[in-house]
Structure formats: C-alpha cells, structure tokens
Amino acid sequence: MGTRRTSLPGVGTRYDFTTHAGQHLSVVVHHDGRRFIGFYAADDPDTCQSSVPLEREEATALAHLIDPAPLDAVRTDGIDLVTEHIQIGSRSPYGGRLLGDTGARTRTGASIVAVLRRTSAHPSPGPDFRFAIGDTLVAVGTREGVDALAAIIAGG
C-alpha cells in the first residue's frame, strides 16, 4: 500500500492511494471543501476512468462509514481549523530529528498536538521530542498551514 500527497496550487491537495492489490485511486480536496474521488486503471495510472464528486457533508458521511470515528474539521469563529494525520515516511528529513528542528509552528502556524507510534501515543510533544520513521503526527491548523507542514515533513 502506498500513498502520496500533492499540493495543487490554487485548487487544494490531491491524495493518491494504491492498495495492496495495486488498485489506484485519488482524492482531491479543494480549498472550499469540495472533494472528488477518482478511479484509475491498474495498467494506466494517469488516466482517470471515473470520478465521484462529493460535497463536504457527503465526504464526512462517507468517512464515517469507513471509519466511525474520523478526525473532523473544527469551526471556530468563522475560521476553519483542520486536524490531520501526517506520517513521517522513510524519505522524510525529520526521521530521528527533534520536533523543534521542523520550526512547524513558526513556519506554518500549524501545531503538532500529538505523535502516534506503533506502540504508544505522545500527547503535547515538546520541541525536544525525537521523531522516528513511521511516526504519525496529529497536526491542527488552517488547511494551508497543515498542508505546508505536511510538505515540510515530506521534505518539500
């Protein structure tokens, strides 16, 4: 199974997902909350065979069917905040480095509020928390801030 995240300037973010069986699909999340799921042929991962557009409420309903307790967006005083999981992959420059090395909050305005490891959870990690490959960061911020943080963690 493999996933890839691509920023689409002026549009949003595309998440590509390949299953263990080799099936490829993408989810495009627009800045305004619209989403669509695209399905691709195994022999041509660049040609979308079909797509399903989803309004924000429809995407939330589908997410609840897949995972009954997903992380939802939080609306506060007219500002959209999102909570997202960001994995530290093998190509991340932050595997083995300290949270403070990312400069996450200063550079993006997004906060890393927890780190999930295979066998443990670390809420409210401080700047001296050392990341490991495979860690999942729980980030909170604006859509733009969380996307910027994900790009930093990925090495972009």
Q: What is the DSSP string of 102-130?
A: G-HHHHHS-EEEEEE-SS-EEES--TTPB
Domain-by-domain residue ranges, the chain? 1-68, 71-156
**Residues of the chain above pLDDT 70, percent:** 87
Which residues does residue 90 pair with via DSSP β-bridges, in sequence order?
A: none
Q: What's this model's pTM, rounded to 2 decimal places?
A: 0.56
Measured CA to CA, the distance from residue 11 to residue 30 in angstroms comes to 5
Measured CA to CA, the distance from residue 19 to residue 99 in angstroms comes to 30
pLDDT tens-digit series, residues 25-47: 888 888 777 888 988 877 776 78
CA-based end-to-end distance of the chain: 22
- The two three-digit tokens of residue 102, written as one number: 């990312």
Looking at domain 71-156, which CATH architecture does it have? 2-Layer Sandwich (3.30)
